[in-house]
Amino acid sequence: MITFLKGRSLVSLHDLSGEEINAVLDSAAALKLRHRQGEQFFPLRGRTLAMIFQKPSLRTRVSFEAGMHRYGGHAIYLGPADIQLGKRETTADIARNLSRFADVIMARVFAHQDVVELARQASVPVINGLSDLLHPCQVLADLMTVREKKGRLAGLKMAFLGDGNNVAHSLLYGCAKVGMHLTLAVPEGYEPDEQVLETARGDARATGAQLEVSHDLGQALQGAAVVYTDVWASMGQEEEKARREAAMKPYQLNARALALALPDAIVLHCLPAHRGEEITDEVIDGPQSVVFDQAENRLHAQMGFILQAV
């Protein structure tokens, strides 16, 4: 048991050390192996997860619910009609109430400050299932996938193509903590948050990770062992879709772009994918794609954290 994660929340990967991130990945890998071997065990028996959803999701909801069920626990879905953070009731009061009913809280929200406030006021661990600023659960799964396929994290280079969004922000924090190099290839005007980048670079100084932001696709892909992309317009950005497509079209992950990376580079996408936009069918369905292994690892990585935190 990794006792130093007991009672801890997961709001940002910046809050965890590289040792703690690797410990979560070790826990996740052990859970995955035991499940693959057909072993049934229930370390979360009697535990309840309260799940707050301001945004709909396939992977987040199913991976948390299925994971809790698999290991003997129970998950309660709280949609927009059930709970309205800061509207019908204060976020602080919601956190205090749920802390009396549940052993852990997961929140998928619009405003990052909502999950920060939940974690501040709750007396049980709070997990950021996605906010407008960060997506730490996704990046734990990403790092788990890279470690499975490449055998290590430190010293590898990842190229992320497209928008400097919440996934890019969590990749900056996660890669910095584990010593993995990351170059974001983004159009002008779509760079990551400056404060996130500065903070991540501070973390990177301790591990030797090199974090770069570039407008040059070729530079970003050179030497990359991992190539990652995400949708160009996230939920809430629909009105910007046409403008974003025009700016990001040169950063599409297609066969020509993939050929600029290492020959054995793996392809990641956090899904859902807009095929023919940020990624082509031949790449996402091609032999270098590990996208659906990555999606599966959401369950293992999240349960790996919960098992140590509750």
Partners of 158 in the beta sheet? 182, 226
**Is 61 part of the annotated catalytic residue set?**
no
Residue in 230, 244, 302, 308 annotated catalytic: 230
The region that residue 111 occupies, defined by phi over 0 for left and psi between -120 and 50 for alpha, beta otherwise, is beta
**Is 138 part of the annotated catalytic residue set?**
yes
Residue in 288, 298, 300, 308 annotated catalytic: 298
Residue in 112, 114, 163, 270 annotated catalytic: 270
| Number of helices and strands in the chain (H, E) | 12, 9
Range list of β-strands (E), 79-216: 104-108, 126-130, 157-161, 181-185, 211-214
Largest CA distance in the chain: 54
Amino acid letter, 21: I
**Is 137 part of the annotated catalytic residue set?**
no
Residue in 108, 147, 169, 181 annotated catalytic: 108
**Cβ atoms 164, 187 nearer than 8 A:** no
Residue in 135, 181, 244, 269 annotated catalytic: 135
**Is 108 part of the annotated catalytic residue set?**
yes
Residue in 54, 103, 138, 142 annotated catalytic: 138
Query: What distance in Å separates the CA atoms of residue 35 and residue 194, rounded to the nearest whole number?
Result: 41
Cα 269 to Cα 93, 134, 202, 260: the distances in Å are: 36, 16, 27, 18
**Is 135 part of the annotated catalytic residue set?**
yes
> Hey, which residues are catalytic here?
108, 135, 138, 230, 270, 298
